[in-house]
Structures are given as structure tokens and as C-alpha cells.
Structure 1
């Protein structure tokens, strides 16, 4: 959203459509089409859209000559992209459509121009993000060394995951040093619910077969060579070639440069 705020003034109209996964199921794609038209055209109200096909045509007719910036956040179905940004010719020259998704396959299927994978943070980046959300820069200098040491432990626990660092930093921002120690000790035994629920969204979106495959990999095949793991998974009845591809595209597993 910070990039959106920074560059939005360079476009004729802008729209940031949040949480498409949830909003499309609650309110329908027609409502999201109305939001795009209202925001980009800078009108409080637009004509009610009754059908998705009608909305597709209206967006193309009204925006095809406008340079627009549209962010489609948390897309999880191809029909969402087809309804909200169906083709390049829907928008004027110089337009930018930014899509965030947990599923790389959707971007491939929609033939987007450029894809960028978000990697885990290194230790320096992780410390910087944690300091921001835990308000460490506003702590008294007395005892700051203890906070710095515990910050390293929090970063190690989070494993470079921005979501975990943001949630944990916000939770710890008004806690004293003893409460930091207690919270960290508890986290090692009981993971934070907000983090688990957010990460669980990707798991819940898997087929039953892919869920079983993911759990087997997570429990038994961490740091195992890919070829060895695939051979053993196939012997157990998994169609591992397509299954592993799906899990990678949904960013649930990664394969290292060493092939593990």
C-alpha cells in the first residue's frame, strides 16, 4: 500500500481493492466491479451492476482510454481476474494492474506480464521490521541491550516471515522486558493464533490429496533431497510431480539451491 500511495498521483484514476478472496464471496464480483468504477472515475455512486458480464463491458468501455492504477489484493480464483481486469485492452496506455495472490498458477493462467516472488527477510531486514512494529526506537536506552538480544530470538523464531514479525512486534510494543521473555517462552510452546490462522488460508485451499502431501513433506521430508523425496512419495501413492508443483506455486514449500 505504501508503493500505491507513492505513485498513485501519476495516474488518471486509482483503486485499491482489498481482500478480494473474502469480499467476492461475501458481496459478489459485481460489487467489486462497482468499487473499481467508483474509485477510478471519482464518483461516489455508479450505476448498479447486476451481472458480471455487464460489469466487464462497462469497465472496458469507461476505462479503456484512462491511465489507471489498480491493485487487486489477495486474489484466489481465476474468475476474479477475468471479472476485474480481464485484458490489457480494458485500460488505457501506461496503466498498471498489480495483483497479489498466494497462487502463482493464477498469474500464469491470466498471462500477466511480470511476476515477482516475495522472499523471506534476511536477519537485518527482519530486525528492522520488528523494531518498527515493536517501537524499539522509543525505548529508554537503559536496558536496551536486553531488548536487542530478545529481538534476535524473536527474529529467529519468525524465520524471516514478515507476517510473523509484524504480528509479534505489534503485540510486544507496549510490553516490558519480563513480559517479552514470558511471551517468547510461550510462543515456543504455543504459536500465535493470528499467524496460524493467516497461514492456514493457503492450506485450507488445497485439495484433500495435496493437504496429505503437504503434511507428509512437512513432517518427514524437510532437508531431504528432492529426487529422494519424490521417489518415496510416489511409492506411497502420491502423484508427487503435480502435487509438489501445486505446493510450490502456492508458496507452501520451497526447494533450495541444493535441491532439498
Structure 2
């Protein structure tokens, strides 16, 4: 049965929106690095049978671009979600998902700095509008916070995570024709999990945090490892192949919408006026940058 690409893209954003809420919901039950490590271990176990034969065939292509693959593993697997889960110990899932919406803007800025790509007037205006929205979100709409640089540390950690995802996305874009998708994803999952292992061991030894191995925690690990990783990835890739990257990227703006809905319904977060205003600015800026 073939699903419409629009439905697959929306499914991916629903699952990714849920990732932010799950990370916040289990913040008191499992430490963040451990959650990220178990997420990718679960993803590897599930994805390995699906991608092993392809990886075996395409191994030379992956090995030929080894430095890029390592950076992809560091930024996209080891760093991004780990930093998001750390940030969710200090900020709300709504804030985190809204910050994530600025990813296309980060990519434009990185492309301008490192690839010397020219920015159109719409991209410049959209970037300024989105960054204003980000400042509004992390300051809680308070001008005094902006003046005193008094921001929520969780928001700043998520902003670093978004920067890592921007680097990851830019590399994916640059190596799209040279690195095979499934094989590269499997290898980066394995490398990212290996990178996280020593940090996980240190976190468990040095912290007084006791993991609550409840049904809630185990379900969360399975959700982020299978649905927010494998199912979302496969759905998103299929949608992008059918519609194209530019049209598909607009659907990323659904992530904060679904995250906000889930956060309000399931974990009792309150939607603030600063989040609404800042979120609209971020998303409007992203839409403006895509204007021809």
C-alpha cells in the first residue's frame, strides 16, 4: 500500500514533535545522555536488519567520505538529541520545538559563512525575522532579560543543539549525491552510540540519578528509538523523494505545532504569549526565506 507523500511528511513531524514532549516527560526518570545512548542503541538494533545488506554493498562509498561520516555522527547522532534532552531538563518542550524551527535559518547562515552562498533579500529578511523570534522565545518576551542577557540555560543548550543539526543538515545536503542514505544512517547511528558510551558510563557513575525503570521510561526509550528515529526517518525520506526537498522542508513547521498540542494535553505545559509570538516570527521567517 502506497501512502501519499504529504501524509508521510506529516507523520514524521508528528513523531518528531512527540520526541520533544517525551524527552521532557521523562526528564526526572532517566538522565539525558543515557536516554540518548539507549535511543540510538534501540534504533541500531531495529534498523540493522533493514540496512545491513545495503551497507555491505555500499561500504566503499561510505568509507570514501569517512571524515564527513564522522562529523555527521558527532553532530546529528551524538550531539543533537543529547543536547536537546539535556536542555529539556531546564526548559519546556514547547520552547525546545520552537527553537528547532530555526534550523533552516541556521543552515542559510552556515551556507553563507562556509560555502560563500549568496543570500537573497527574502533570505536576509527571513533570517532576521526568525532570529528575532528566537530571541523573543528565549527571553520570555522580556526586554529586561535581553538587556541583561538573562536567558534560560535550557533554551541556550537547545540552541547549540540546533546549530549541530544545522551542520549535520548542511553536510547531508553537500554529500547527497555521494553518500548513500540508508547505509550512512546506519553507520552514523553505530558511531554515535559508540561516542556516547563513555559519557553515559560517566553520567551513571558520577551522578546520584537513579533510573526509574517503569513502563513509562521503557516506553519512552522505545518511542524515541523506533518511532522518532526509524519510522520518522523512513517516512520523511519517502516524502522528500516524492515531493522534493524544498516543498518537504515547509512541513518541518508542523513540529512545534504537534509538540505544543502534545505538551498541553499530556504533560500539562501552558502555552505562553511569548511562545506564540516568537514561534510565529520564527516560522514566518522560514517561510519568507523559501520565497522566490
TM over 0.5: no
**TM-score of the superposed pair, with normalisation by structure 2:** 0.22
Instruction: State which structure, 1 or 2, has the greater radius of gyration over its C-alpha atoms.
Output: 1
Name which structure has the greater RCO, CA cutoff 8 Å, separation 6+. 2
* Larger helix share, 1 or 2: 2
* Larger strand share, 1 or 2: 1
